[in-house]
A and B are shown apart, each in its own frame.
Chain A
Amino acid sequence: MQIFEYNGSAVVAMVGKNCFAIASDRRLGVQLQTIATDFQRISKIHDHLFIGLSGLATDVQTLYQRLVFRHKLYQLREERDMKPETFASLVSAILYEKRFGPYLCQPVIAGLGDDNKPFICTMDSIGAKELAKDFVVSGTASESLYGACEAMFKPDMEAEELFETISQALLSSVDRDCLSGWGGHVYVVTPDEIKEKILKGRMD
């Protein structure tokens, strides 16, 4: 049994026109038993920067706490929020530091940079950054997510259409994965507002 299949997860982020969307499933399981249906995988670092972590749930929570700590230190020193590209380099360095005993999670980072230009990237568990201009996926449902996003994605979508696309891609992919699902949690971020939506999905 793979370590990433212990808890089950699905995270996806997509780029739109001056906005981005990041979505995850809500199941927390211990192998084949579901123990929670409202697990928070996506966390806010600051108003324009979100990180979604898939993989072993204990490392998801520990890594999130460490990253929030480092970002707060940065805010105190620099008196401003971290840019998404800088944050991605920070996460990559923290993961690579544990190269020979890694955190067993794969982050998906999404943020709005300068000029409200959306930025997304994902990494493997030792910090190999993978920048993309369209979408990034992670988790046990990643193979289905690759296929669904590849088919459904269009460049330069507005926030409403982007929400619909990412939700459909997420729900159709987790329906084909036993270990993830039980609803969806989507954040669509534009320069003016953050829209957080909880989706109704199959509860099996």
Chain B
Amino acid sequence: MSQSAVDVPPKGGFSFDLCKRNDMLTQKGLKAPSFLKTGTTIVGLIFKDGVILGADTRATEGPIVADKNCEKIHYMAPNIYCCGAGTAADTEAVTDMVSSQLRLHRYQTSRDSRVITALTLLKKHLFSYQGHVSAALVLGGVDITGPHLHTIYPHGSTDTLPFATMGSGSLAAMSVFEAKYKEGLTRDEGIKLVAEAICSGIFNDLGSGSNVDICVITKGNKEYLRNYMEPNPRTYVSSKGYSFTKKTEVLLTKITPLLERVEITEVGEAMEE
């Protein structure tokens, strides 16, 4: 039996069998599609008791906003979270993959995951694809050795920093950090600074927008504040909604009733002995 006749579920990893066909289409003049990017402002900072991560919530497809409230702060381990910028599919796939690998590692070693473990797994994967997996990440967490914050670039290089920003809005956010960051911030001061940095990205960078998500990680505890701030509410909601004067003309209707589950409650007679 030929291999191609049976489409068994694959063992994992990338499959390149459509590349030749896609190249042929590109040569004939058909341009390749654009992917969903997370234009983004993502930030992280280390405060007195741990790490605070922040992100905006806009996902773009070219110049169009595809998702007004997406989640860019991904779970890696109970004590480690990762913000992702770049191609959305790559950041999601890479963080999910490393999160699974960390869980298996936790089962094997019976210990909490360390941030540098996640860092090494991510940078090894990204370097091996030479930057083609376009994921720029801000990784932060608190483990047994203390709070850590790292940035990871698509080609696999990493930095360890007390405060970091990535994405198209990184310059806007970094300006806020450079002006106002100091060591030993309290939790409330830290949250306020992160929210301010993300807001400066939201308002000044076109690739970032909508709301502010914040994640505070301390020793033994984490708080994921989804939509912590919503500085861009919709101001033009009509309570009446749309009234359609002319109904749509229907040519054909087919109704398929679905089987309803009927509960039979019978008071049966006892079996004769």
Contacts and interface: CB of A to CB of B under 8 A. Distances in A.
A165 B250 CA distance: 14
Contacts of B25: 3, 104
Residue of B14, B20, B89 most packed against chain A (CB within 10 A): B89
Given A130-B70, A198-B250, A200-B250, A125 B33 contact: yes
B72 to A, nearest CB: 12
B35 A128 contact: yes
B241 interface: yes
B7 interface: yes
B92 interface: yes
Interface in A99-138: 99-104, 123-130, 132
B268 interface: no
Contact of B253 (A124, A127, A171, A195): A195
Residue of B29, B31, B33, B70 most packed against chain A (CB within 10 A): B33
A101 B18 contact: yes
A130 B66 contact: yes
Contacts of B241: 152, 154
A164 B16 CA distance: 43
B133 to A, nearest CB: 8
B244 A197 contact: no
B239 to A, nearest CB: 9
Contacts of A200: 248-251
A100 B19 contact: yes
Interface string A165-204: 1011001000000000001100000011111111110000
A38 to B, nearest CB: 11
A99 to B, nearest CB: 6
A152 B238 CA distance: 10
Interface string B251-270: 11111111010000000000
A2 B26 CA distance: 9
Please report whether the interface of chain A is mostly helix, strand, loop or mixed according to DSSP. Answer: mixed
B99 interface: no
Contacts of B29: 1
B9 interface: yes
A96 to B, nearest CB: 5
B188 interface: no
B1 interface: no
A128 B22 contact: no
Nearest to A106: B33
B16 A192 contact: no
Contact of B256 (A2, A4, A184, A194): A194
A183 B251 CA distance: 9
A17 interface: no
Nearest to A47: B258
Contact of A104 (B14, B22, B133): B22
Contacts of A3: 25, 30-33
A172 to B, nearest CB: 10
Contact of B31 (A1, A55, A142): A1
Given A128-B87, A129-B92, A171 B248 contact: yes
Contacts of A70: 9
A165 B242 contact: yes
A196 B256 contact: yes
Given A104-B22, A199-B248, A124 B31 contact: no
A69 B8 CA distance: 10
Nearest to B234: A150
Interface of A: 1-4, 6, 47-48, 55, 66, 69-70, 73, 92, 95-104, 123-130, 132, 142-143, 146, 151-152, 154, 164-165, 167-168, 171, 183-184, 191-200
17 contacts: A1-B31, A2-B30, A4-B33, A98-B18, A100-B19, A101-B19, A101-B20, A127-B89, A146-B65, A165-B244, A168-B244, A171-B248, A192-B257, A192-B260, A194-B256, A196-B254, A197-B253
Interface of B: 7, 9-10, 13-22, 25, 29-33, 35-36, 59, 61, 64-67, 70, 87-90, 92-93, 132-133, 241-242, 244, 247-258, 260
A-B pairs with lowest CB-CB distance, top 8: A101-B19, A128-B88, A128-B89, A101-B18, A200-B249, A124-B36, A167-B248, A126-B89
